[in-house]
């Protein structure tokens, strides 16, 4: 086959480390489910019993790898943390049955859905999309992927975020309104899921602002804690 002739070198493939392996998990797309914990839906002023799941996206190169700082973004004075379980897919498709959805899962990680809350509030006010609030550069700090073969499929366990040693968010994965198989099945009716897709599975109550110099430690039982400093 002839060599592809790009007009400039393509960008590197974004990827996450895999715990216990030198191999990398290549990222295709990042989907995020909104208001998937009842207490968080309530704190954001919504009724968790009234709506089906909804999704927004971040960009694959929005990921911040472990060991790197989270740079405070421009154009905002109110940046919030949201600790989340991240689901890493090894296969996909469309119209995936709930009963087969977990077969698509390669593993899990701890992630942070960082949000320019002031810009999100302005977008909501005018009925506009959320990209400027959610999909900015380095808005998705994420830890290493743990394989499902190693840890199974976590359906309960503590999900917690501390800032400078103070607990800000403290919930349990069993509080998710839409469970992982349901999220995958529902999302596959809207998009063609593919290997390398990540799904950020929602956050518990307690979201709040970060400041430069803060140290965020994200914890989910059974997964490696991840630490990011706000730069």
Q: 174: how many CB neighbours lie within 10 A of its CB?
A: 11
The reply to whether 13 falls in a domain is no
Radius of gyration of the chain (CA): 17
Which tokens sit at 64? Answer: 């911040």
Residue pointed to by tokens 């009724």:
47
- How many domains are contained in the chain? 1
**What average pLDDT score do residues 130-139 get?**
97
Residue 9 lies in a domain: no
Task: Find, among 90, 75, 88, 86, the residue nearest to 113 by Cα.
Answer: 86
Nearest to 196 by CA among 63, 37, 70, 99: 63
| CA-based nearest residue to 172, from 54, 51, 37, 42 | 37
User: Does residue 73 fall inside a structural domain?
Assistant: yes
Confidence of residue 214 (pLDDT cuts 50, 70, 90): very high
pTM above 0.85, yes or no: yes
Task: Please say if the pLDDT value at position 40 is more than 70.
Answer: no
Q: Cα-Cα-Cα-Cα dihedral of 44, 48, 51, 53, to 10°? A: 80
Instruction: Answer yes or no: is 2 within a domain.
Output: no
What is residue 170's predicted lDDT score, i.e. its pLDDT? Answer: 97
Report the distance separating Cα 191 and Cα 166, nearest Å.
39
Is the pLDDT score of 38 beyond 90? no
Which of helix, strand or coil describes residue 211? coil
Domain-embedded: residue 15? no
4: in domain = no
The residues pairing with 64 across neighbouring beta strands, listed in sequence order, are 141
Q: Which residues contact 108 (CB under 8 A, 6 or more apart)?
A: 85, 86, 87, 88, 145, 146, 148, 151, 153, 154, 220, 223
Instruction: Give the CATH number, domain containing residue 32.
Output: 3.90.850.10
Query: Please, are residues 194 and 29 in contact by the beta-carbon 8 Å criterion?
Result: yes
Of the chain, the percentage scoring pLDDT greater than 70 comes to 94
Q: How far from each other are the two terminal CA atoms of the chain, in whole angstroms?
A: 46
Q: Establish if 219 belongs to a structural domain.
A: yes
The owner of tokens 């394989």 is 147
Residue 198 lies in a domain: yes
Q: How far is CA 220 from the centre of its chain?
A: 13
Q: How far is CA 52 from the centre of its chain?
A: 19
User: Over 80: is that where the pLDDT of 49 sits?
Assistant: no
Task: Give residue 78's domain range.
Answer: 24-229
């Amino acid at each position: 086959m002839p060599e592809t002739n790009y007009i400039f070198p393509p960008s590197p493939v974004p990827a996450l480390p895999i715990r216990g392996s030198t191999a990398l998990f290549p990222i295709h797309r990042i989907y995020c489910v909104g208001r998937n914990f009842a207490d968080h839906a309530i704190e954001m002023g919504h009724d968790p019993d009234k709506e089906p799941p909804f999704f927004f996206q971040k960009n694959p190169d929005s990921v911040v790898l472990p060991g790197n700082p989270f740079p405070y973004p421009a154009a905002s004075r109110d940046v919030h943390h949201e600790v989340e379980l991240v689901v890493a897919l090894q296969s996909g498709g469309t119209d995936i049955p709930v009963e087969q959805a977990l077969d698509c899962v390669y593993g899990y990680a701890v992630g942070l859905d960082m949000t320019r809350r002031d810009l999100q509030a302005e977008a909501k006010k005018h009925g506009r999309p959320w990209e400027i609030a959610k999909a900015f550069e380095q808005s998705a700090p994420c830890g290493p992927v743990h394989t499902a073969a190693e840890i199974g499929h976590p359906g309960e366990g503590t999900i917690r975020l501390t800032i400078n040693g103070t607990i800000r968010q403290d919930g349990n994965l069993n509080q998710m309104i839409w469970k992982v198989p349901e999220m995958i099945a529902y999302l596959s009716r809207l998009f063609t899921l593919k290997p390398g897709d990540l799904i950020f599975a929602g956050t518990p109550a307690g979201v709040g602002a970060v400041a430069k110099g803060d140290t965020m430690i994200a914890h989910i039982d059974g997964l490696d804690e991840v630490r990011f400093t706000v730069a």
